[in-house]
């Protein structure tokens, strides 16, 4: 029998679900110096992304299905405390009592590589809840909830990850100023490669802090130089000068290496990118592991560098077309 235009579908076949998405991020230049209030440039990475689906069920507890844990949320490991917090804050901001959620998290953003995995999962979860319960949260309300949740799980957050995983725009980020969106129209491709080692952002930041106490002049000069390179990179981006941008990325890596936040695995991948004719290459994020990035002339060159890095031991890789940002 044909359904009449005005007839609704039968109720029993309709099970509402909420869906939310978010993506990863990379720091193009300026990590570590950003801690000392110099600017950093960060980019959204749509190729690494997370989708959260959820539905409401008649259960006693929230139930979660993720890469790192599947089961009732109240038994989940501490690293998922951010999700508990985000659920509670979102439910209370929507004045929703007594909802029990079944949540599926599907992410290809590796954990602990400085790609914003934790913030991205939390953003996608809050978005899925907003979708399900029809809540109209503003961007700043979303950021508030996610940052509160991130603080619970990770003791501190600059808010950079939350911002980058929830917007489509590259950002100039500085501690003492509001973030500024920038546009890229560069005929170049950024290769992101995961070394397979967890990054150690906290340790790396404290290592740099100790080095600052021991050799203040060296570290202050290094920070100043990285800050200058970031300034020059912004000019190169405005002028679509991919060669200058690549060169400045490489200089940036040199200083990160001098500050002691690279390691042999990362340096090896950076070298392999240079040997593959990358315009520039460096570590990205906190360092002591994590990911490297390399600037390629175009998409095909990006695919070539990507294959070389995977062959050199990288465990995963993503491409970012800088023409479309
Ligand atoms: O590892 P990530 O992506 O969280 O980046 C850390 C960036 C640092 O400058 C090293 C630390 C910070 O809080 O800005």
DSSP code, position 288:
S
Q: In which band, very low, low, confident or very high, does the pLDDT at 1 lie, cut at 50, 70 and 90? A: very low
Check pLDDT > 60 for residue 12: no
Cβ 205 under 6 angstroms from ligand 1: yes
Residue 285 CB less than 6 A away from ligand 1:
yes
Alpha-carbon distances, residue 93 vs 103, 141, 145, 277, 287 (angstroms)? 19, 9, 9, 51, 37
Each residue's pLDDT tens digit, 201-213:
889 999 999 999 9
DSSP per position, 190-221:
EEEEE-SSPP-HHHHHHHHHHHHHHSHHHHHH
36 lines ligand 1 (CB under 6 A): no
CA distances from 176 to 115, 209, 253 (A): 23, 19, 24
pLDDT in tens, 82-99: 999 999 999 999 999 889
Evaluate: CB of 34 within 6 angstroms of ligand 1: yes
Nearest to residue 22, comparing CAs of 2, 4, 38, 44?
A: 44
**Average pLDDT for residues 260-264, to the nearest whole number?**
96
Which atom of ligand 1 is nearest the CA belonging to 290? 1
| Residues 55 and 91 sit within 8 Å (Cβ to Cβ) | no
- The protein residue whose alpha carbon is closest to atom 5 in ligand 1 is 285
Q: Measuring from atom 14 of ligand 1, which residue has the nearest CA?
A: 35
pLDDT in tens, 24-58: 999 999 999 999 999 999 999 999 999 999 999 88
β-pair partners for 192: 293, 318
Write the DSSP symbol of residue 101.
E
Determine if ligand 1 sits within 6 Å of the CB of residue 110.
no
Residue 47, ligand 1, Cβ within 6 A: no
Asked whether 230 and 39 are in contact (CB, 8 A), the reply is yes
- pLDDT at 3 (0 to 100): 47
Coil, helix or strand at residue 7: coil
Condensed to tens digits (0 to 9), the pLDDT of residues 160-203 reads: 899 999 999 999 999 889 999 999 989 999 999 999 999 988 89
Distance in Å, CA 285 to ligand 1 centroid:
5
Distance 63 CA to ligand 1 centre (A): 31
Q: What local confidence, expressed as pLDDT, does residue 9 receive?
A: 52
- The preferred substitution site among 24, 29, 34 for testing ligand 1, maximizing ligand atoms within 8 Å of CB, is 34
Tell me: pLDDT of 114 over 60.
yes
Query: Among 23, 26, 27, which is best to mutate for testing ligand 1, by the most ligand atoms less than 8 A from CB?
Result: 27
What is the average pLDDT value for the chain, to the nearest integer?
Answer: 92
Q: Which atom belonging to ligand 1 lies closest to the Cα atom of 32?
A: 9
Indicate if ligand 1 lies below 6 Å from the C-beta of 286: yes
φ/ψ region of 288 (left if φ > 0, alpha if ψ in -120 to 50, else beta) reads left
114 lines ligand 1 (CB under 6 A): yes
Q: Which residue from 228, 193, 291, 201 is spatially nearest to 39, judged by alpha carbons?
A: 228
Q: Whole-prediction pTM value?
A: 0.90
CB of 280 closer than 6 A to ligand 1? no
CB 38 within 8 A of CB 255: no
What pLDDT is attached to residue 46? 96
What percentage of residues in the chain have a pLDDT greater than 90? 83
**Percent with pLDDT over 70 in the chain:** 94
CB 32 near ligand 1, within 6 Å? yes
- Number of CB atoms found within 10 A of residue 304's CB: 17
Which residues, 6+ apart, have CB-to-CB distance to 273 below 8 Å?
191, 193, 281, 292, 294, 305, 308, 309
Supply the pLDDT for residue 2: 47
Tens digit of each residue's pLDDT (9 = 90 or more) over 51-84: 999 999 888 899 999 988 999 999 999 889 999 9
Q: Does 117 score more than 90 pLDDT?
A: yes
Taking only the tens place, the pLDDT of each residue in 275-298 is 999 999 999 999 999 999 999 999
Q: Are strands 70-72 and 63-65 parallel, antiparallel or unpaired?
A: antiparallel
């Amino acid at each position: 029998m044909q359904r009449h235009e005005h007839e609704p579908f039968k109720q029993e076949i309709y099970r509402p679900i909420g869906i939310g998405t978010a993506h990863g991020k990379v720091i193009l230049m300026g990590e570590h110096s950003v801690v000392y209030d110099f600017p950093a440039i960060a980019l959204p990475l749509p190729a690494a992304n997370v989708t959260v689906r959820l539905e409401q069920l008649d259960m006693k507890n929230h139930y979660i299905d993720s890469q790192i844990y599947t089961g009732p949320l109240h038994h989940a490991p501490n690293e998922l405390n951010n999700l508990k917090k985000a659920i509670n804050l979102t439910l209370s901001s929507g004045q929703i009592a007594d909802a029990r959620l079944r949540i599926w998290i599907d992410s290809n953003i590796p954990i602990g590589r400085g790609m914003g995995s934790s913030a991205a999962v939390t953003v996608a979860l809050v978005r899925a809840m907003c979708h399900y319960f029809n809540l109209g949260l503003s961007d700043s309300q979303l950021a508030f909830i996610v940052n509160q949740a991130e603080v619970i799980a990770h003791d501190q957050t600059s808010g950079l990850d939350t911002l980058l995983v929830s917007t489509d725009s590259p950002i100039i980020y500085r501690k003492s100023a509001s973030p500024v969106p920038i546009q890229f129209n560069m005929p170049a491709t950024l290769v992101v490669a995961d070394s397979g080692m967890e990054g150690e952002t906290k340790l790396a930041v404290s290592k740099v802090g100790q080095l600052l106490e021991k050799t203040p002049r060296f570290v202050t000069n290094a920070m100043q130089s990285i800050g200058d390179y970031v300034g020059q990179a912004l000019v190169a981006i405005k002028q679509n000068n991919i060669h200058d941008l690549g060169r400045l990325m490489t200089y940036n890596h040199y200083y990160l290496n001098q500050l002691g936040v690279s390691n042999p695995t990362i340096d090896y991948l950076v070298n392999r990118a240079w040997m593959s004719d990358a315009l520039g290459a460096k570590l990205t994020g906190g360092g002591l592991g994590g990911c490297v990035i390399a600037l390629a002339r175009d998409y095909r060159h990006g695919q070539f560098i990507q294959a070389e890095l995977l062959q050199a031991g990288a465990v995963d890789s993503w491409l970012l077309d800088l023409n479309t940002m």
